[in-house]
Structures are given as C-alpha cells and as structure tokens.
Amino acid sequence: MKKFFDKYFPLLPVSLVLGTVLFSHSCANTTTPPSGGPKDTIPPVLVELYPYPGATHVPVHKTQLMFKFNEFVTVKDQQSIFLSPPMEKRPKFRLKGKAVIVSFENDLDSNKTYTLDVTNAIADNNEGNMFPGYTLAFSTGHDLDSMMITGTVQDCNTLMPLKGVTVMLYKDHADSAVFKHRPDAAGKTDDWGFFCLRNIQDTVYRLYAVKDDNNDNMYQAENNELIAFWDTLIRPATVVSDSLPEVMKYLMTDTLACLARKSEFELNMFRETPSKQLIVNKERLGERTAYITFMAPYAQIDSIWIKGVPHEKLITQFNLERDSLEIWVNDPKKQPDTLFLYVDYMKTDTLGALVPFTEEVKLAKPRQFGAAKSSSRDIKKEDTTAVFTVTAEPETIEQYGYVFEFKYPLVQSAFDSLEFRSVNPRQQEAAEKYTYQQDSLNLRKYIVKPVSKLLPGYEYFLKVPHRKFVDINGFYNDSLEVKVSLPNDDKLSSMSVILKDVHNKYIIDLLNEKRDKIIRSYTVEQDATLLFPYITAGKYSLRITEDLNRNGLVDTGNLLEHKQPEKVKFFKLQDGTFLIDIPEMTELEQTIDVAEMFR
C-alpha cells in the first residue's frame, strides 16, 4: 500500500477533483484504528483540492485554498506552508474538519502564477505520520507559467546537503536585488538539500539560496545569514510535468527515489566575511593580558600602545585571519586596575570608507583579580607557576610531534634542556634526539619532534625539567613527563593516497563518516604520497580544498564581488559514492588526479 501511495500520489489530487474514486472501501479509516490493532504508519492522503491544480482566474481578494485529507490532520510546521512568490506576510491557516484552509492577509497580485507548497507541514492527527507534501500551482490571470528548475544546496566546506534553505529567483539582475526586495519565485530545500522551483516564467533570472533566519525572504548580511549564488544568469529549460521524478513528493527515507532526481544547479552556501571594520569586542583576561576583536578580518593597524607602558614591554599577536589581537604586558609588577589601550587603525566611517582612526579602549581588570588572596587556600597553581600543556597523540605524533602551549609568552626558555628517551620491549633505555621550533602563528606554542623514526612496541618519555622556563609574570615552570607509544592494535589499518598532477596548493583532510571531525591533515604543493596510518575500521571521506591564495585558510566567498568560496571536493569512488569503507587489518592505496578533480 505504501509503495502505491508513493508511486501514484502526485496523480491523486487531479483525479479526485475530476471525481475519480481512488480508494477501495476496504481501506481502514486511520483516524480510528481498532483497539489493539497494528499501528497506523500510512501518511495522510489528499482527497480534495481547491482550486484545482493548474486553475486560472483565481480571485485575488480574500483568496482561500483548501487541502482536504482522508483523515483528521494537524499542521506541524506553519513555516513550511510556503507561497511563491512570497508575500510580505506569511500565509495563515485554519483546520476545518479534515481540511486545512490557507488564506492570505493581503490580496494576491493579478495576472500572476503562484505555487503553494505544504511539504513538511502536515501530519495525521493521531500517529503524527507526515504527509509527503504537495505543491499547488494556480494563476490569477489567463495563463499558468509552465517552466521549472531543480538543484541542490550544500555547505561549502563539508558539501553536506542543507535543509530548509530558501532558494530564490530574481528577474531583477542587480547585485542589490537580494538585499532589497522579495524574489519573483522561491522554494525550500528538503532533507537532501534538493529544490524544485516549478511553474515559473520563461525568462532570465539570477539564482540565490539564503538561510533565511528571520523568514523575510531577503538576504540580511548584517545578521550573518548564509548565502549561495550562481555565477551567471540562468533561464529554465524544462517544462513542468507531474510525471517527472523531480516534481513528485517522496518520503525522505526513500533514498533511491530521492537520489534519482536530476539536479541542474549545485549551490555552495557560505557565510560572508564582514566588510565593515571596527573594534567590536574587548576583554582583559588577567593582570597583564587582554584581547580585542575586529568585525572584519585583515585589520590594518598602524600602531598600538598602552598608557604608561613602555613600547618594548608590550607583546601583541594577531590570529591567522587578523581579526583578533592578543595583548600582553611584559612586566611582572602590579598593573593598574584599568589599562588605557590606544589603537591607531583603519576604521570604516559612516560612508563605508576606510579612514585612519585612533580609538581608546578601556581594559578593566577582572573582579576576581582585583582582590588579594586571603589565604594560602585561595592561591592556585597558576598564581605561582608558568602554566603550560604538552599534548602528544599516539596516532599523530609522527606528524605533529609534542605540542607545547604556554598560557603566557615566555621571556626565558631552555628547550635544549628537555630529556627525551626511549624504552624498548626488553626494557632497555636509550637517549633520543629531538628538534624544536616556535609555531609561526602562535608565539606561546612550540613543536618538539623526534629525530629518529618512532618504533612500534617502544615507549617514549619526554621530560620537562623544573625551573627551565619563565613567563612574563616572572613565574617558573613545574616539571612534567609525558609518555607516548605508537598504537599497537593489530586490527588497525592504513591508507596511502597518491596525489598526481598537483599544480596549486591544496589542503588534504581525512574526515570521519559524519564529516564533522578531521582525523589527519596535510598541505601539499606538488605531487606526493600521503600516509594515513592507524585507522580504525569504519567509513571515511577524503576532502581536498584548493588554496589558491596560499594562505592556509579555506576562504569564504563574497556576493557583491562575485567571489565563490574556495573550491572543496571530496574524493569519489568508482561506484559514485564518497565514503571509503576501510575494514580491519587492511592496507589501502588510492590514486587521485588532482587537476582532473578540479577541472
């Protein structure tokens, strides 16, 4: 029965409007199932429509649309009752018997084609079985527009489909149109990120997709809404037909049917980088440390100083995006309750232009630092020692080494005093050599790497001696020893990835099945063979990002500059899937033609 509904459902409304009897008297009334009988799993069925599909000359004043079902229903999500082209106020609804009545606060426009979509909006009243959905097309004029487009919307970094995104078509080709007025046609993406904008006019459009958080059917960049756009003007090439798979409504659990739909346009959503530059946040974190953040990246600072603090006593560090600046006072003496910071930088004025500006930032000492410690019990370790952490993961130590990170910048270091030794399976000790260097992006971070190749079955000990490092507070470090061994699980697997025809800079990430965790990452600029060892059995994805400007970041897009986010591709297997199934105790090898992938 369920397959029958899925296959023939799109034909039911038209047939029923014409008076065709579609249901046998043997079908149970799902609103009153027999006590103790099987649970109702069949979604509501549409049995009557007003106006009929494709109707013309529909009244524009006090228009009401009716969707009548074979059982009592409820509206689960009012936001999913979606009118295209959208009006200023959303459609209203009320329940009348087994029908949902949709109305509008304002008059419809004359001589215009409308579609009302109720996908993901309606469920049966008892069991909550969702109605797969329906799109009712009608016209207030003589003719019904008959063209359509399809596509998918996905996240620009994970390429995962995005649900509930508003896809928009504009006949106004100005770049500002999506900011200023509602679209000429619109629709929502389903669970698979798929959209079908049907019964649209045969003309030229600009195509956008917006994560419309405030439901105003426009793009609000200042609210950090996600945006996607197609690079060129488009014109629909397909005529609507209820027999097309792309037009039919499917249960989202019907994977084969959903994936079989043709997608004409692929849109990658991104969050734009703010263009307006100013200081938006500040905080003093301690006696001699603070930070300020800027609205836009790549802040242009001419100079920075603190009143009463000699210039050579000031330490500053930008993050990679240059939108956050850490500040330290390299002086162990007690600092004032309020530090007066002055930043001479390029700030956006009221006309939108960058102009030189000197801003005073008051940095008040946190309350918990204001009072003296009343007793020895109040004094914490970080109040008297140079606090630091050392991390070393068995699976990645060969690539990333031991990572040291101090809470405050160092004024004295002695990395050559570290003790690094190995213990073999026969418990024989040996001194090991290592190298160290300061991280190029974080002056509080240092990387210590073994010189010799680490061996399975060996234990490695890295000891940090007492009082070898001094931070800006004048505090010395405590001793610490870290032990690490390579994974020795016989069930682990490995994968070698051979990259060929590499002509740009690329970031290669091995992700888990959900694509929400990076297992291991490499950066390459030429042909290379990358090793991904110590992999537990499971499914993984290989993501390759094209870093054209070679800044080590995955840069976002810009709508007004017609700049798409940097290209991200996932390695596709021969069967068309993107998940690499890695069994236990396996050594895999994959070859990727990078130039072909990004062509």
| Topology at the third CATH level for domain 381-484 | Immunoglobulin-like (2.60.40)
Nearest to 516 by CA among 155, 153, 152: 155
Q: Collapsing DSSP states into helix, strand and coil, what is residue 511?
A: strand
**How many angstroms separate the Cα of 572 from the Cα of each of 29, 36, 380, 589, 594?**
47, 49, 53, 14, 12
Nearest to 385 by CA among 313, 480, 454, 460: 480
- If one counts every other C-beta atom within 10 angstroms of the C-beta of residue 10, the result is 21
Strands (E), 458-584: 459-464, 470-471, 480-484, 493-500, 506-511, 518-524, 528-535, 538-546, 568-570, 580-582
Report the top-level CATH class of 145-271: mainly beta
How many residues make up the chain in this entry?
599
Instruction: State both tokens at 300.
Output: 């242009």
Q: Where in the chain is the domain with CATH 2.60.40.10?
A: 145-271, 493-597
539 within 8 A of 497, measured Cβ to Cβ: no
Rounded to whole angstroms, the Cα distance separating 228 from 168 reads 10
| Topology at the third CATH level for domain 1-142 | Immunoglobulin-like (2.60.40)
Peptide bond connecting 51 to the previous residue in cis, omega within 30 degrees of 0: yes
Q: Does the pLDDT of residue 365 top 70, yes or no?
A: yes
Q: Where in the chain is the domain with CATH 2.60.40.1220?
A: 381-484
DSSP state of 58: -
- Compute the mean pLDDT over every residue in the chain, rounded to the nearest whole number: 90
Mean pLDDT for 224-233 is 95
pLDDT of amino acid 550: 86
- If one counts every other C-beta atom within 10 angstroms of the C-beta of residue 265, the result is 16
Instruction: State both tokens at 430.
Output: 């040996």
Rounded to whole angstroms, the Cα distance separating 180 from 186 reads 15
Mean pLDDT for 391-415 is 96
Q: What are 478-503's pLDDT values in tens digits?
A: 999 999 999 988 899 999 999 999 99
421 strand-pairing partners: 431, 461
Q: What are 525-563's pLDDT values in tens digits?
A: 999 999 999 999 999 999 999 998 888 888 899 999 899
Rounded to whole angstroms, the Cα distance separating 451 from 433 reads 6
pLDDT interval class at 402 (50, 70, 90): very high
Peptide bond connecting 85 to the previous residue in cis, omega within 30 degrees of 0: yes
Q: What are 16-35's pLDDT values in tens digits?
A: 443 433 333 333 333 444 55
Which superfamily does 493-597 belong to? Immunoglobulins (2.60.40.10)
Which of 241-250, 374-383, 587-596 has the lowest average pLDDT?
A: 374-383
Residue 185 backbone phi and psi in degrees, to 5:
-160, 150
Q: What are 449-458's pLDDT values in tens digits?
A: 999 999 999 9
Q: What are 268-321's pLDDT values in tens digits?
A: 999 998 889 999 999 999 999 999 999 999 999 999 999 999 999 999 999 989
pLDDT interval class at 376 (50, 70, 90): low
pLDDT of amino acid 574: 87
Q: What are 62-87's pLDDT values in tens digits?
A: 999 999 999 999 999 999 999 999 99
